[in-house]
Structure 1
């Protein structure tokens, strides 16, 4: 769970930075002709910025082991995968990296069991409760 929380906060921060770069229409992005999912770069910037902000907020909930954050984390990571797939022609290598990181986030959130992430401030071993 902690792994997924750290990864989601990193993905969120990187998406925020990517969104700001795209809104500012930085020279870093490529433009590919004849791509089926062609959108305005500024529009993609706002999408990545919004997803990044929500991802950071959800990661804070994951650090507190909230169930709502776990469910939303899977959803946000899925949306990050879709957004990065659709924006592949603008920043291809980074999009593939973000898709991979988001896949690990979904994996981390889906394999964690409830007893694995009890009270984060509880120092008593599970067998002594």
Structure 2
């Protein structure tokens, strides 16, 4: 009896392995979220402690009081820190939350640009890599 070839409807193409950059990037993304959270905590403490730390902006569309910015960065930093820990521990929820918080942090730092341009751009770059790394690694489900 001749063996029949497997039907094409039952065969699946071989799955493309995830990029080693993406898999290693997820671990690095967790570390970066920890670091970004700590940087935000320091930005927040500086803004809350003294209004003289950051330059005063007079005509800016998104102008907030420096103390308000301090609280925004402090709270966001604490949450980013704990999500980074969750990513390092392999928690599935942390990847999805990490993407959302990194996007929120990009927006906050974009609005923060006139106060501290260099640190805002560094934070935006970190968060962009974090989003890429967490979205491209498919070794574990996101949620």
TM-score (norm 1): 0.84
Count of equivalent residues: 115
Structure 1 counterpart SS, 2:119:
helix
Point out where structure 2 has 5 or more consecutive residues left out of the alignment: 1-25
Question: Which of 58, 65, 72 is 1:33 aligned to?
Answer: 58
Q: In 1, Cα distance between the equivalents of 2:68 and 2:49?
A: 11
2:71 alignment counterpart: 46
- Confirm or deny: 8 A CA contact 1:23 1:41 kept in the other structure: yes
Please tell me whether Structure 1 or Structure 2 has the larger radius of gyration of its CA atoms: 2
Deviation at 1:12, TM superposition (A): 0.3
TM-score (norm 2): 0.77
Structure with more helix by fraction:
1
Point out where structure 1 has 5 or more consecutive residues left out of the alignment: 116-129
Deviation at 1:26, TM superposition (A): 5.2
Alignment of 1:61-100 (within 5 A): 61-100=86-125
Deviating beyond 6 angstroms after TM superposition, the runs of 4 or more aligned structure 1 residues are none
- Confirm or deny: 8 A CA contact 1:31 1:89 kept in the other structure: no
- Confirm or deny: 8 A CA contact 2:45 2:74 kept in the other structure: yes
1:21 aligns with 2:46: yes
